Amino acid sequence: MAKFKCNICGQTFEADKMPDKCPICQADSSHIEEVHEPGAEPKAKKKGLDTSGNVYTICYAAVMVIIVAFLLAFVSSSLSSIQNANVENDTKGQILTALGYDKATVNVGEVYEQNVKDSIWDKESMRMMPYEGKFKTSYGSAIKSGELHVFTATAADGSKAYVIPVTGRGLWGGLWGYIAIDQNKQTVLGTYFYHEGETAGLGALIGDRPFQEQFIGKPLFAEGVEGIALTVVKNGTPKKGEYEIDGVTGATLTSNGVAGMIQDGLGAYITFINYK
């Protein structure tokens, strides 16, 4: 015998098995549910682990967290040297891309070694000092602390060039880039931009060559504009001059970020750029 309860009339009754209809109010069997005697069922049903106890839950969570933490720490520390080498190589590749090399086809490490020299522009003495420290993969904090890195280099077409690292903020996160300028510090030879996490297919297009190639041959300065003139404007607006570059459609904030990065980034180097 089992006990059943009808949810329509609220009565309980006994039967051998689930009845088709409630014997009291004739409600359909879907409204009837079996009632378990308190204390009778749960113990008999239990087998194996008791996974609902407090102690078990806490231990489980603790063990899981420790295992995952060790796993992640192990993976991260065992791979970090390879990853750092990759990042360093990629940064050198980005600098070479700004200089007009194709980083996919050349041996990045070798070409960088032969053609690029890492230097620091000293604002006080207006002189270029060779940089002896470890190769940096990001320049935001260095520029902020007054350590103005300039890469003196030979561009892909054989001319002398300077590469200036710049950093800024896009819509979702950081932006950075390398701007190669010619020896006279008047014209852009090439650029490379990348981002932490701009929207794929929109803002992320600034990381693609078609956007970056628009900058090639553009002037840094223009008559009637104070400071750095080179900037990015909304795609489709009429241009005031050569120095305005088309932004990415649908990614106005990212494009503004690039404009800000160029203006502020090159602005920080203005003593270097104006020095003849």
Partner 1 sequence: MKLFSDENKAAFSSPLNLNNPVTVQVLGICSALAVTSQLKPAIIMGLSVTVITAMSNLVISLLRKTIPNRIRIIVQLVVVAALVTIVSQLLKAFVYDVSVQLSVYVGLIITNCILMGRLEAFAMQNGPWASTLDGIGNGLGYAWVLVVVGFVRELFGSGKLFDYQVIPDSWYVANGGWYMNNGMMVMPAMSLIIVGCVIWAHRSINKEEK
**Count of beta carbons in the 10 Å neighbourhood of residue 271:** 13
Nearest alpha carbon to residue 178 among 256, 235, 100:
100
- Binding to partner 1 by residue 62, rule CB under 8 A? no
- Out of 202, 219, 252, 253, name the contact with partner 1 by CB under 8 A: 202
The residues in 206-265 that bind partner 1, with binding defined as CB under 8 A, are 249-250
- Binding to partner 1 by residue 75, rule CB under 8 A? yes
**Nearer of residues 109 and 250 to partner 1, judged by Cβ:** 250
Nearest alpha carbon to residue 152 among 177, 185, 116:
116
**Nearer of residues 25 and 64 to partner 1, judged by Cβ:** 64
**Count of beta carbons in the 10 Å neighbourhood of residue 84:** 11
**Total chain residues near partner 1 (CB under 8 A):** 32
- Out of 1, 40, 44, 200, name the contact with partner 1 by CB under 8 A: 200
The residues in 22-51 that bind partner 1, with binding defined as CB under 8 A, are 48-49, 51
Residue 181 identity? I
- Out of 7, 12, 26, 76, name the contact with partner 1 by CB under 8 A: 76
Residue 264 buriedness (CB in 10 A; 0-12 / 13-18 / 19+): middle
How far, in Å, CA of 108 to CA of 275, rounded? 31
244: phi then psi, degrees, rounded to nearest 5: -100, 125
- Binding to partner 1 by residue 71, rule CB under 8 A? yes
- Out of 7, 83, 138, 186, name the contact with partner 1 by CB under 8 A: 83
- Out of 10, 17, 37, 52, name the contact with partner 1 by CB under 8 A: 52
Cβ partners under 8 Å of residue 27, min gap 6: 6, 7, 8, 9, 21
**Nearer of residues 187 and 256 to partner 1, judged by Cβ:** 256
176: phi then psi, degrees, rounded to nearest 5: -150, 165
Residue ranges in contact with partner 1 by CB under 8 A: 48-49, 51-52, 56-57, 60-61, 64-65, 68, 71-72, 75-76, 79, 82-83, 86-87, 89-90, 196-202, 204, 249-250
